[in-house]
Chain A
């Protein structure tokens, strides 16, 4: 059971928008920055969003992040088949003194 809660799967058609939620508590999301990672099949994770809503260089603005209270959200617009991947949220947990991840969300672009 992961400390952060994500939906197991989401799906949408090409060109559409999708959001992926990540729910935590005051010991993690509520008091720390959230980051997001994309993992394409058979590859290492890549850095997608940091500090809740900042994009590293090279990440298109189709990807966005937000945080409110103890929850965070990843948004992807203009969906492409190449966006099919697993997406993970992560943050520091002050009570555990550890990085915690969500269980991951599999995105299917129909």
Chain B
């Protein structure tokens, strides 16, 4: 079981960034996928969750609603997270993480991607 994320990105303030997370080694559509970020020297911050099977709504943390979009491509077993209107406060490492239980958002995150560093700077 593995989650492999796309490479580091640098963006200017006001731009958007799209981070990818490719899953392998398990049934992609059976497990929800979380997105979590970590600013430099800070703790973990949950951004939202997507059901790769397409059933049910995608849930976003209130802080990011209107600015984040999570999508999935079942043909490539990949989930994407796009964040728009970037500011310097969005500089962070972004992680995808698989939900531990099949078909559930509960219970925790058992497999994590390696992280993608997003730097927002003018």
Contact = CB atoms under 8 A, between A and B. Distances in A.
A35 B43 contact: no
Contacts of A35: 100, 107-109
Contacts of A33: 106-108
A45 B95 contact: yes
Nearest to A105: B43
Contacts, number: 66
B94 to A, nearest CB: 11
Contacts of B97: 45
Contacts of A2: 43
Contacts of A60: none
Given A45-B95, A98-B62, A51 B45 contact: no
A51 B112 contact: no
A4 B67 CA distance: 25
A86 B111 CA distance: 17
Contacts of B109: 35, 37, 45, 47, 90
Contacts of B107: 33, 35, 50-51
Interface of A: 2, 32-33, 35, 37, 44-47, 50-51, 56, 86, 88, 90, 92, 96-104
